[in-house]
Each structure stands twice: as C-alpha cells, then as structure tokens.
C-alpha cells in the first residue's frame, strides 16, 4: 500500500558529454545528480542517485587550501597527474565515486590544486593538507596523488570551517598507486551546519598496490561522498574504513564503487556510524567482480546505530559478480544499541538515552583519538562542543 | 617379491608452485597395515590426498599403481571405484544433503557391493550397531554441525560400507574423545577382520597404534621418506620423538628441549635443527 | 524540480513511442486498445466497475515507462502478444469432461493424481481460462470457497471481490500491473472463513499452451482471522520460438492471527517473460510464508511483497532461483514492516550456470510505526562456471529506532574440498555438483510437499544436465 501510493522519484538519465562540459564552467546555480551506483534498483526507493542543488558561488581564494607539512606542490597543474594516468590507465578504467557531473562542478569551483608525487621507492614524511572553507564561497581542493612504483605515501586532509559561515566545501581526490606502492589516505570532515560538503575520490591501483582509506564525516548540513577504487593490478588491495555521524537535520550520502579487475585482488569496506536527532543517511556500496578477477575477495559492511525515532537510514550493499572464482560477502546491521550491550551498560548505571549519547559521543572520541594534528583535533572538538556539549575524548562523567 | 597392492613410485607433488612431496616410494602388500608418521607439516596428509587424486595437488613426477594398474591419471571418483578409500582428517560439510541420501549415492557407485533397496538398509543397520552409533545420524545433513568425533564416526561407517581394497586413514585418531576413539578402533578391527583390509594409517600420534598390529612404519620429514622399519620404530619414536630424523619435535608436535635443568636450557635453535634436518634429507636422498 | 520536469518529458516520450506503434493495431488485432479491453470484459459479462477498472488500467499502462533497472524486455513485442486466448471449453468440475488434449497435458503434469493423493482442491488454468476446478466436500462444508474468480464475480462474493480486487496491487504500481488490470483473465478466488484450518493444501496449476500468448490470471485469496491455508501454484509451458508473456497477479489478505503459506514452483519455458506480481497484506499476529522456486522463463521479474500491517505479524520468505543458458532471472522479495513488533526472515539461494544471469533484488522498508521489529535477510549465491553472472542488489530503508535489520549475502563457487570429498567416495564430478546444488537448494525443497520437492530436485537435475526443463 505504502509503495503503491508513492510516486516515481526524480530520475534523470546521465548527462551527455556536452551537458557535463557545460557544468565545468562556474555560471550560476546548478542541480547535479551524483552518487549513482553501477547497478540501480527500484526508483521508488529513491536510492539510485541524489540531486545536489548547488547555489551560485564564487570559488574561494587560493589560500583556503594549505599544505601544512610534507612535500607537496601547492598550485600544481593537472597535467602531471593526467600524464601519469594516461600511462597507467590506457583502457580508461579510472572513474570517480560521485560521477561526471560532480567532477565537472568541482573542477569549475577549484580554489587550488595540490600534487603529491612520490618517486619510486621513496617513503617521505606524511603530507598534511587543510581546507578551511571560506564563508559564502565554494572552497574546493583538488588533490592529486601519485605514488610511484614501490613507494609509500601518507596523506592527511581535513575540510574544516573554523570561521563558520555558509557555502560549499569539497575535495576532488585523484590517486594513482603504482606497482607495489602503498597509499594511506586519511580524510576528516568537520564542517559546520552551514556547509554542503562534496568529497569525490577516484583511485587506480597497480599490481600488488595497497591503499588504506580512512574517512571520517562528522559535520556539514549535507555530505555527499563518492569513492571509487579500480583494483586493476593483480593482487592489489584496498581497505576503506569509514566513520560517520549524523546529527541535527544533517544528511549524509555515500557511494562506493570498487571494481576488482586484477587477479587475487582484495577489498574491504567497513562503514560504521551513528545517526542522531533527525539526521538521515544513504550508503551504497558496490563490489564489482569483473570477469577475469580470479581469486578475488571482497567484503563490505555497514553498521549503523539509530539513536532517534526521527532518523532515516538507507543502505544498499551490492555485489556484482561476473566471475566464479571469487569470494564476496556483504552485510548490513542497522538498528538500536543491541540488547546485550544495552543491558551491560544499564547495569553500569547508564540510562538508555545516556547509552545512545555514549555511542554518538564515541564517534567524536574516536575521531579525536585519531586526529592527525592540532587543527584536526580542534575541528573535532569544536563540533563535539556544539553537538554533545563536551570536548571529544573527555570522560563520560563530564556529561552526566 | 609378490606384487604390492598399492605402489607409490617416485612421486613428486606440489601445491601451486610449491613443491611438497619429493620422490616418494612406498609399497603396501595386500592385508598389511602400514603407518606413516612424521612431524607436523611433513607432507603426510598431502601424500594421502595425492594417492586419492585431489586435484589441488599436481603430481609432477612418478606413478601411483593399484593392483598393477597405473591410476595416476584417474580422478578421485574413479580411484574410489577401483577400491581406494581416504578417511579425511577434516571431513567436509555438505549442507542440505542428508547422510542417508549420500550413502545411497555412494553405494550406487560401487555396484559390486550389491546393496540395493532392503539390503542397503540392512547393511547400514548392521554397521550402526557394530559401531554403536545412533540411526539419528542418517537424517542429518552430511557432516554439518557434527563434532570432530562424530565426523570420524561417519567416515568409519563409510569405510565399512564401501569395503575398499585399501584404506588411507588420515589422522583418524587426532582430537577424539574416548567414545569416538573406540568406534574408530572397532571399525579398523572390523575392516581388517572382515575384508582382509589393507591400511595406510597417517598419524603423528601413537595412541591408536596400541591396539593395532603394524607391519611397516614409514617416517616422513619435509616431504621425504627418511626411515622405514617394522612396528618397533613406533616405540622408538614414542620415546625419542622425531629428533633422530633431524626434527626437534616430540610426537605431539611440541618443540623438544634437551636440557632438564632450566638454568642450562639453551633456546631452541631453529637453524641448527634445520641444518640437521637437511643433512638427514640429503642422507635419505643418497640412499 | 529540474529532475521532476525531466520525468514528465520521459513519460511524454513513452506515450509518443506508443502512439507510433498503434498504427499496426488494426492489422494485427493483437495489440492493446480500449476496444479489445471492452471485448474481453463483454465476453466475461463483467460488472461495470470491472470494466472501468480495466479501462483505467489501460490508460495507466500507456503512461508508465518500461523498467530501466532490470533485465531487458526488448524481445517482448506487445503488439504481437495475443492477450486473450480462450480454449474451446467451459470450466469443468468433472475431470472426465475436460477435453482430451488438455486433460492429457495436465495428466502428464500429474495434476489429477496429485489431487487424489493429497490435495483438498485443484484448479487448472489452460491459457486464459480456467478449465477445471474442484474442491473436496469436507472443505466446502466448512465454508471454504475455491472457484474461478470470474465465476465468483457473478455470485454472492462479488462485493467481497470488489473490495479487494487490485486494492493491494494497484494498476499504478508498475507497467505490468497496469497491463494485468487491463487484460486479466482467469485465475482463482479462495475464501477461508474465520478459524477454519485447511488440513490439506489447495493447488492451482497454470499451463500456457498457445503460441505467442499472454497469461494474465488473477489469484485473490482471503484468509480470515485465525484461519490457516497452504496454497500451491505450479506453472509450465511448452517452448515456442516466439516470446510468451505471463503477467499474473496474486493478492493475499491474511487476517488476524491467520496463517498462510504460498508455494510456487515456476517452470515456464525458456521463451517466457515472467513479469508476475505477488503481494500479501497481513493483519495483527498473522503470518505469511512464501516458498518459491524459480527455474523457468527467459526473463523473470518476480518479487513477492509482504506488507506487515498488523502488530506482531510475521513474514518468512524462502526462495531459490536457478538461471541457466539464455535466462536472465531477476528475483527476490519486498517487505514492508508497518506495525510494532513485526518480523521478517528472508532466506534465498541463487544459482547461475551456462551463461545464465541471476539477480537477487530486495527491498526492506521499516516504517516509523514498526517499533521493536526485526528483519533478517540472508542471500547466498552459487556460480557454477565463469560464463555466468550473479548479482545481489538489496536495499534497506529504515525509519524506526527500536528495530534491528540485518543483511548477509555471499557469493562464490562450489568449494574444491567439497567436490573432492564427494568424488573420493566414488561420486562422479557431475553427480557431485548436482548433489551439492540440490543440497544448496534444500532450504526450499524441504518446505515443499514431497511431490513438489521431488519435482524441484528433478528440475535441478535437468538444469545441471543442461537440458530443457519444460515439459511438452
């Protein structure tokens, strides 16, 4: 009955290249469709893609993007990455999680491009990139990462809005991880409610390459996060570890696309989050076992705590399989604090709402513990103060 | 010498790229009981699997001959119909297939048993009684959720049902409770008595051998057969472990410390043990 | 807003496409026009409300787009589907008087024997019409009604049918539900009064015999409070070179504390487009159980839906889909939890072989009303070779706080260790894989009456041997 009365959702065919090209010019307000998964399902579920209405905004000043430490080129051209990509990806497998419309919009609003290019066999100090969103602007950092053969790179990036305000902030991340190379990429988002956040990642891995991607999404009125990994090289692997928190009326939208083409490739997507107040979230996760990826393994899991009656969670964990010699599994676990945990914590004197607060607070505490520098910690704490009324990482007594 | 029932001739085998067995020669005469011993990871189970024809392993050299017929190219089903049986160390669970249906299916592949219809039921009932097992097992899914002991009992049931010419019993005694061990011992005794059964028992434990008269004992280390003897070799190993073959491990697979006094106890010298083992292997190869 | 506009243009385009193809109507006399719909209704001497519903459905059919998220139905040319095929016979309740060729078909399918053996009632539909209906005296004495739905429309149950017919599956639901509303023909009406427990199952068998035809039967079942019914549905068709279409509808109304099981073994021939819609609504404390085996069809879209509308109601779905050469079967289920303390268990198995495409698709909606509810979905898929394909596309939408939704899915092939174990006992490679696949599908077959479980195992065996599963 419910389904019968619902009308068909907004659904738009993908844009033509010319239409996408028109988006790549910063001219006024735009509505773009993003985060479309490789396989779609009933439109009535309103899960197949999401519309982002982006106001007319000037690009922020270049200084919104800062390389706080590490060896990276601030003010780089796209060309070095484009050249490395052309060489690494002759068949055009490189794709982004949010899709072409987001790529075009982000490119039209880029404040600055940062290039991390690690030479073969090198293992330099971590690179820290800060994006401080500018009030009333589109603050987009393009982040190109090339980790050449056998090299190891660590990149930390944070989107923050210490000055508050409104606008759009975003990362357009492109990563190439060469043969036997290793990339550790950590992205933290601590924007205020006045912001819409776009995080679009595209990565391609060579033989034996490994990427570890940690994402933490704590703020922003809307977070649109698209992540795509092409495991092209044999025995390449990716671990994605995502933490998210929905509060207020915030809305989170994730799309993960993992294409396993190489033999014996491995993927693991582990998303973990809490939804409080009247927040909502959609997570699509697709593991695509492409013909020929013999011996590939893929796991995917979304674990969500719903801490309020008004929250809404949608999860769409997809396995696409065109190869028999693979092992894939996915799981989702959506619900309340489980009765065992609840019983245990209640036996320690916590009320149910305190237990929920504990789980919500835990996302901040986790982020605080893993903050990679003082500014990251400050961003987490600022949000924690506002949302749970205490510093992250503080003891429970402080709150009771 | 009379022709052996099973003869393993210069068998080399590998799993993927990794060589595991190096030139194994073994001959087992009809009605004999042989024991294959060796420390953990020596390749004993692999030899059992290779004899049975597990496609996971590639036999790179040599031949396996049963009653004068080279069966090296046959698949496992064909070898079973020729009269080989392997009792698995860890029998595989097959969800949704009731034990009874499975037993009917395997009996149908061995028409010489002549166990159709009522005769099948009667024979199953006999074996269950002989092994003191409950008929409830028959309705359960094959090995699914069975304890280690229960799985071994089901293997023994199949052994008695199929009456193979040669049974390879892989670590049939490991991790068994007293009840299951009794069933296994009974089954082995019945197999030998009723069918003049021929056995290759793979173990690193000597407990089950107490009730069994053994004709020959083989010792495997690192994919080589390094020693062969009569039953007395078992007692020897029981006392001294595999150390004499260059491996500092007792029969339970524990590392052996030479010293009695802890103060003087030298740390386990892996390199020395390895060198020792390699020397033993070379000596064996020279033979 | 921009996207909504886009939607409108899309609809416009499909209307245009349709108008273009309408040119052929006069010549082919097989397409869909209001006149054809009026003719169907007139032949059946239907009440006005039914004709109105048909005409409204036809309009909706023309306005809705073809699904773009599932298998292609390009091979299905609606202009060439003879929507209404009436065999030259009236419905019989005496098996002997059913025409010989039709009787022979059903006898080969084992229908009357099964009735004698263990069924409380049997219905048999041949092409668009029900040819046989019978119910055991003991059941009818308890007030159980099992009759052709068209027949029931002319009797004392017209009012009841009016109140339920296409209320659960509305024509707006999707294009093929609208098509069904316009051209539906035949099917069963079952009414189980309060507190009546049917000891034996009722069975309905559908046989689509005509070449290039459509079958659009409507099954309406009302199980009143505290009653209990098991309904079994079987389908088959011979193989022709042209496409056939099955767009039936099943509407199940399960009362308070009532229990209903709906079992299906679907074995349409490999030229069938099976775009069937099944839906159940369950009142307080009631239970709906679906047992579903999908083996046939060229293309399948099948997602039985359970709406748990009453507190403490439950749903169980157990299904297996086997997709072989030339098949693209998109199956699964939908569940709506819309009341407190409801629960749903979904357990499905998918098998793909010889280039077959198998997709598990599901949706789980837990509304704000479904406090303290739980859903568990488990989905396992087996790939039998590397030419085939198997996708898993579940979606969950959860809006209630105190609930738990779990989903687990896995994909892989038959383990080498399992094959070796069976083969080491003398079982050939082919037999071992058949045994493993049968075991894999066992959660479904063990829920079926023995005769059906045997049929299902035979179907699996036929599929494993790569033979045509269709009889005829």
- DSSP structure string for A237-296: EEEEEEEEEE-TT-EEEEEEEEEE-STT-EEEEEEEEEE-TT-EEEEEEEEEE-TT-TTE
Q: Are C57 and C81 in contact (CB under 8 A)?
A: no
Taking only Cα atoms into account, the Rg of chain C, rounded to an integer number of angstroms, comes to 22
- CB–CB contact B102 C432 (8 Å): no
Please state, rounded to an integer, the average pLDDT across all residues of chain A: 91
**Is residue C195 located within the same domain as residue C135?**
yes
DSSP SS3 for C208: coil
What pLDDT does C369 receive? 94
- CB–CB contact A328 C410 (8 Å): yes
Residue B92: which residues within 8 A CB-CB, separation 6 or more? B143, C415, C417, C418, C420, C421
Residue C1 belongs to a domain: no
What pLDDT does A358 receive? 83
| Separation between Cα atoms, residue B59 and residue C43, nearest integer Å | 74
Report residue A94's pLDDT band, with 50, 70 and 90 as the boundaries. very high
- CB–CB contact A42 C395 (8 Å): yes
The boundaries of the domain holding residue C455 are 416-472
Paired tokens of C29: 């006399």
Asked if C110 has any chain A CB less than 8 Å from its own CB, the reply is no
Asked if A153 has any chain C CB less than 8 Å from its own CB, the reply is no
The model's pLDDT over B19-44, given as tens digits with 9 standing for 90+, comes to 999 999 999 999 999 999 988 889 99
- Chain centre to alpha carbon of residue C374: 25
Q: What residue of B is the nearest CA neighbor of C426? A: B77
What percentage of chain B has pLDDT greater than the value 70?
83
Residue B128 belongs to a domain: no
Q: What residue of C is the nearest CA neighbor of B141? A: C439
Locate the domains of chain A by residue range.
2-336
List, for chain C, all residue ranges whose pLDDT scores fall below the cut of 50: 1-29, 83-89, 116-117, 467-472
Please state, rounded to an integer, the average pLDDT across all residues of chain B: 84
Task: Report the candidate in A229, A195, A191, A235 with the shortest Cα–Cα distance to residue A212.
Answer: A229
Paired tokens of A398: 């402080």
- Largest interatomic CA distance in chain C: 68
The model's pLDDT over A26-41, given as tens digits with 9 standing for 90+, comes to 888 989 999 999 999 9
**Is residue C286 located within the same domain as residue C253?**
yes
| Separation between Cα atoms, residue A43 and residue B149, nearest integer Å | 53
B166-170, strands of its sheet edge to edge: B84-87, B166-170, B198-202, B33-37, B216-221, B224-229
**Is residue C191 located within the same domain as residue C338?**
yes
**CATH code (residue B216):** 3.40.50.300
Q: How many domains does chain B have?
A: 1
Residue C25 belongs to a domain: no
Residue B17 belongs to a domain: yes
- CB–CB contact B79 C424 (8 Å): yes
**Is residue C368 located within the same domain as residue C433?**
no
Residue count of chain A? 400
Q: How many domains does chain C have?
A: 2
Angle at B285 between CA B279 and CA B287, to 5 degrees: 110
Paired tokens of C259: 């229990």
**Is residue C394 located within the same domain as residue C447?**
no
Residue C90: which residues within 8 A CB-CB, separation 6 or more? none
Q: Are C271 and C242 in contact (CB under 8 A)?
A: yes
| Separation between Cα atoms, residue C158 and residue A289, nearest integer Å | 53
| Separation between Cα atoms, residue C155 and residue C137, nearest integer Å | 19
User: Mutate which of C303, C342, C394, C436 to test chain A, going by most A C-beta atoms within 10 A?
Assistant: C394
- The predicted model scores a pTM of 0.85
Paired tokens of A352: 């149910």
Asked if B52 has any chain C CB less than 8 Å from its own CB, the reply is yes
What pLDDT does C445 receive? 86
**Is residue C450 located within the same domain as residue C405?**
no
Task: Report the candidate in A348, A362, A353, A257 with the shortest Cα–Cα distance to residue A303.
Answer: A362
- CB–CB contact B105 C435 (8 Å): yes
Residue C377 belongs to a domain: yes
The boundaries of the domain holding residue B235 are 6-92+164-286
| Separation between Cα atoms, residue B28 and residue C40, nearest integer Å | 81
The model's pLDDT over C16-74, given as tens digits with 9 standing for 90+, comes to 222 223 233 333 345 678 888 888 888 889 999 999 999 999 999 989 988 999 999 98
Against chain A, the chains showing at least 3 CB pairs within 8 Å are C
Residue B78 belongs to a domain: yes
Task: Report the candidate in C400, C332, C411 with the shortest Cα–Cα distance to residue A334.
Answer: C400
What pLDDT does C127 receive? 61
Cα dihedral B268, B271, B277, B280 sign: negative
Query: Residue A25 pLDDT more than 80?
Result: yes
Residue C144: which residues within 8 A CB-CB, separation 6 or more? C120, C121, C135, C190, C191, C192, C193, C196, C198
Residue B154 belongs to a domain: no
What pLDDT does B238 receive? 78
Query: Residue A7 pLDDT more than 50?
Result: no
Task: Report the candidate in C408, C348, C407 with the shortest Cα–Cα distance to residue C382.
Answer: C348
Against chain C, the chains showing at least 3 CB pairs within 8 Å are A, B
Mean pLDDT of A319-332: 93
**Helices C429-440 & C450-464, crossing angle to 10 degrees?**
140
Query: Residue A394 pLDDT more than 70?
Result: no
- Number of Cβ atoms within 10 Å of the Cβ of C402: 17
């Amino acid at each position: 009955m419910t389904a019968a009365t619902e009308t068909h959702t907004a659904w738009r065919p993908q844009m033509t290249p010319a239409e996408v090209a028109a988006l790549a010019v910063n001219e006024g307000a735009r509505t773009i469709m993003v985060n479309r998964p490789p396989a779609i399902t009933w439109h009535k579920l309103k899960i197949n893609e999401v519309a982002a209405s982006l106001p007319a905004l000037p690009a922020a000043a270049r200084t919104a993007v800062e390389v706080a430490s590490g060896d990276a080129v601030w003010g780089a051209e796209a060309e070095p990455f484009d050249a490395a990509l052309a060489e690494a990806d002759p068949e055009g497998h490189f794709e982004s999680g949010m899709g072409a419309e987001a790529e075009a919009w982000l490119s039209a609003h880029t404040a600055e491009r940062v290039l991390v290019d690690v030479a073969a066999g090198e293992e330099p100090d971590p690179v820290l990139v800060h994006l401080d969103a500018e009030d009333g602007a589109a603050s987009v950092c393009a982040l190109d990462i090339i980790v050449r053969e056998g090299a190891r790179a660590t990149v930390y990036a944070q989107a923050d809005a210490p000055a508050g305000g409104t606008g759009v902030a975003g990362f357009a991340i492109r990563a190439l991880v060469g043969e036997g190379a290793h990339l550790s990429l950590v992205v933290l988002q601590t924007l205020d409610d006045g912001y819409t956040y776009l995080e679009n990642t595209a990565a391609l891995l060579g033989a034996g390459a490994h990427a570890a991607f940690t994402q933490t999404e704590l703020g922003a009125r809307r977070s649109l996060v698209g992540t795509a990994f092409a495991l092209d090289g044999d025995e390449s692997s990716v671990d994605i570890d995502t933490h998210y928190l929905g509060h207020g009326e915030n809305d989170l939208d994730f799309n993960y696309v993992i294409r396993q083409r190489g033999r014996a490739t491995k993927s693991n997507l582990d998303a973990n989050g809490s939804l409080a107040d009247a927040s909502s979230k959609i997570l699509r996760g697709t593991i695509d076992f492409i013909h020929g990826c013999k011996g590939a393994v893929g796991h995917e899991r979304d674990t969500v705590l719903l801490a309020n009656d008004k929250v809404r969670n949608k999860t769409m964990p997809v396995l696409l399989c065109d190869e028999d010699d693979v092992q894939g599994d996915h799981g989702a676990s959506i619900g309340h604090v489980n009765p065992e945990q609840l019983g245990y914590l209640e036996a320690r004197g916590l009320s149910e709402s305190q237990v929920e607060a504990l789980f919500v607070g835990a996302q901040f505490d986790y982020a605080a513990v893993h903050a990679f520098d003082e500014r990251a910690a400050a961003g987490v704490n600022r949000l924690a103060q506002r949302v749970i009324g205490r510093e992250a990482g503080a003891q429970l007594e402080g709150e009771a | 010498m009379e022709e052996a029932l099973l003869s393993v001739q210069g068998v080399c085998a590998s799993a993927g790229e990794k060589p595991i067995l190096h030139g194994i020669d073994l001959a087992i005469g009809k009605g004999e009981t042989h024991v294959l011993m060796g420390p953990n990871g020596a390749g004993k189970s692999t030899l059992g699997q290779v004899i049975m024809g597990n496609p996971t392993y590639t036999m790179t050299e040599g031949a396996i001959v049963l009653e004068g017929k080279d069966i090296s190219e046959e698949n496992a089903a064909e070898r079973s119909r020729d009269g080989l049986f392997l009792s698995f160390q860890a029998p595989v669970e097959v969800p949704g297939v009731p034990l009874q249906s499975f037993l009917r299916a395997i009996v149908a592949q061995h028409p010489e048993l002549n166990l159709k219809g009522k005769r099948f039921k009667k024979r199953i009932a006999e074996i269950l009684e002989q092994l003191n097992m409950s008929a409830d097992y028959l309705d359960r899914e094959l090995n699914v959720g069975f304890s280690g002991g229960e799985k071994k009992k089901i293997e023994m049931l199949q052994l008695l049902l199929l009456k193979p010419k040669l049974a390879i019993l892989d670590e049939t005694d490991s991790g068994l409770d007293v009840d299951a061990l009794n069933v296994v011992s009974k089954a082995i005794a019945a197999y030998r008595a009723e069918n003049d059964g021929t056995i290759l028992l793979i173990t690193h434990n000597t407990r089950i051998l107490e009730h069994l008269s053994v004709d020959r004992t083989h010792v495997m280390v690192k994919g080589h057969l390094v020693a062969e003897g009569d039953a007395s070799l078992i007692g020897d190993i029981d006392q001294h472990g595999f150390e004499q073959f260059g491996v500092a491990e007792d029969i339970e697979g524990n590392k052996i410390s030479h010293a009695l006094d802890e103060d003087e106890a030298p740390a386990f010298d892996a390199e020395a043990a390895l060198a020792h083992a390699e020397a033993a292997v070379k000596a064996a190869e020279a033979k | 807003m921009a996207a909504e506009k886009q939607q409108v243009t899309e609809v416009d385009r499909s209307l245009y496409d349709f108008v273009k193809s309408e040119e052929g109507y006069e010549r082919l006399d097989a397409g869909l026009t209001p006149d054809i719909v009026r003719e169907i209704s007139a032949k059946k001497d239907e009440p006005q409300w039914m004709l109105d519903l048909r005409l409204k459905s036809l309009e909706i059919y023309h306005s809705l787009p073809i699904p773009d998220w599932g298998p292609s139905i390009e091979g299905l040319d609606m202009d060439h589907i003879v929507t209404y095929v009436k065999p030259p016979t009236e419905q019989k309740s005496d098996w002997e008087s059913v025409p010989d060729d039709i009787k022979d078909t059903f006898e080969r399918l084992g229908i009357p024997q099964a009735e004698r053996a263990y069924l409380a009632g049997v219905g048999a539909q041949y092409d668009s019409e029900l040819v046989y209906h019978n119910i055991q005296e003991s059941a009818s004495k308890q007030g159980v009604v099992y009759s052709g739905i068209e027949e029931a429309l002319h009797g004392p149950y017209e009012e009841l049918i009016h109140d339920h017919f296409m209320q659960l599956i509305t024509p707006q639901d999707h294009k093929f539900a609208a098509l069904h509303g316009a051209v539906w023909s035949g099917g069963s009406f079952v009414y189980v009064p309060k507190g009546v427990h049917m000891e034996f199952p009722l069975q309905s068998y559908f046989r689509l015999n005509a070449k290039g035809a459509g079958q659009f039967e409507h099954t309406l079942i009302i199980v009143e409070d505290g009653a209990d019914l098991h309904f079994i549905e079987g389908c088959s068709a011979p193989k022709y070179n042209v496409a056939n279409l099955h767009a039936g509808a099943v509407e199940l109304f399960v009362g308070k504390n009532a229990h209903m099981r709906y079992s299906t073994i679907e074995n349409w021939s490999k030229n069938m487009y099976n775009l069937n819609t099944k839906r159940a609504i369950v009142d307080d404390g009631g239970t709906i159980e679906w047992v579903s085996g999908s083996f046939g069809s060229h293309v399948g879209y099948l997602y039985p839906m359970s709406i748990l509308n009453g507190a403490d109601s439950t749903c169980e779905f157990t299904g297996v889909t086997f997709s072989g050469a030339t098949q693209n079967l998109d199956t699964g289920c939908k569940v709506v939890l819309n009341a407190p303390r409801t629960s749903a268990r979904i357990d499905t198995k998918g098998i793909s072989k010889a280039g077959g495409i198998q997709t598990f698709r599901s949706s789980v909606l837990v509304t704000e009303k479904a406090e303290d509810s739980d859903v568990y979905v488990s989905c396992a898929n087996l790939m039998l070779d590397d030419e085939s394909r198997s996708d898993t596309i579940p979606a969950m939408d959860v809006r209630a706080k105190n609930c738990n939704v779990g989903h687990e899915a896995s994909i892989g092939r038959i383990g080498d260790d399992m094959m070796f174990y069976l083969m080491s006992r003398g079982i050939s490679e082919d037999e071992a894989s058949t045994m493993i696949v049968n075991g894999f599908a066992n959660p479904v077959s063990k829920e079926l009456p023995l005769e059906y479980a045997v049929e299902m195992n035979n179907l699996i065996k036929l599929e494993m041997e790569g033979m045509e599963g269709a009889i005829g």
